[in-house]
Amino acid sequence: MATIGLIGAGHIGSQIARLAVANGYDVVISNSRGPETLSALVKELGAKAHAGTALQAAKAGDIVVVTIPLRNYRQVPVEPLAGKVVIDTNNYYPERDGHIPELDDESTTTAELLQAHLPKSKVVKAFNHIYAAELTTHGQPAGSKNRRALVVAGDDPEAKKTVTRLLDTFGFDTVDAGPLEEGWRIQRDTPGYGPRRTAEELRRDLAAARRYRDQ
Ligand SMILES: NC(=O)c1ccc[n+]([C@@H]2O[C@H](COP(=O)([O-])OP(=O)(O)OC[C@H]3O[C@@H](n4cnc5c(N)ncnc54)[C@H](OP(=O)(O)O)[C@@H]3O)[C@@H](O)[C@H]2O)c1
């Protein structure tokens, strides 16, 4: 079974770690303060979890999840992530992250920024529009009626398939929004951002999304 590396172990990172361990994955979790500050979470997760630095999590992960405040994305290690599937959960909140001009003028998107920072990685946007607590409470087995769906966006079809399988294991259907540049359709302030949606509902939400400049 693969190892999932987590860069960020806050609300989302800790929840993805819980889902991963519950589904048989090993995890290496990391934060900005250092592995010693993650001992309670490692204890809770059990023998399949280890804490490390962000560099160690990047090296250890077959799949690596970047789930940090967006303002810190340039701190993500580059070389150890080359060739890997990197899941980007991040959202842009200027009041938290400071203003990023190319997001303010909508000339790029959050996950494209991470992809530009990690040119040799296969970045897939996922998990950005579900509240952390719901990750461990909304999942259902494949085929369940009205199963919740989550969006993926990415430029590498195989990487999206990998993440789609992971989401299915975690209890969610998937809707493919297209390449990373379409990821804005599920950013904050769009219809699909936050509420529980089936795949069909989520497809409608993606189609109804509008850029800030058109609102
Ligand atoms: N909360 C949600 O429900 C939710 C839902 C979907 C998407 N998101 C998005 O997902 C991202 C994470 O959200 P969150 O709520 O989980 O944030 P959070 O609770 O504030 O956790 C952030 C984590 O990132 C770590 N971190 C910060 N800089 C780092 C770095 N350079 N290297 C390694 N780790 C670093 C922090 O470590 P320290 O604590 O040691 O600083 C902390 O573990 C954000 O972009 C957010 O907008 C959040």
**Looking at residue 11, what is its pLDDT?**
98
User: Contact 176/156 with Cβ under 8 angstroms?
Assistant: no
Mean pLDDT, all residues of the chain:
98
Q: What is the mean pLDDT of residues 53-57?
A: 98
Q: What is the mean pLDDT of residues 76-95?
A: 98
Determine if the pTM surpasses 0.95: yes
- Identify residue 20 by its one-letter amino acid code: A
CA 124, 157, 191, 98 dihedral sign is positive
pLDDT band at residue 1 using 50, 70 and 90 as cut-offs: confident
Ligand 1 atom at minimal distance to the Cα of residue 14: 16
Q: What is the mean pLDDT of residues 104-125?
A: 98
pLDDT(30) > 90: yes
Give the strands of the sheet with 3-7, arranged side by side.
49-51, 26-30, 3-7, 63-66, 85-88, 122-125, 149-154, 173-176
**Looking at residue 130, what is its pLDDT?**
98
Residue whose CA is at the smallest distance from ligand 1 atom 41: 32
Residue whose CA is at the smallest distance from ligand 1 atom 19: 10
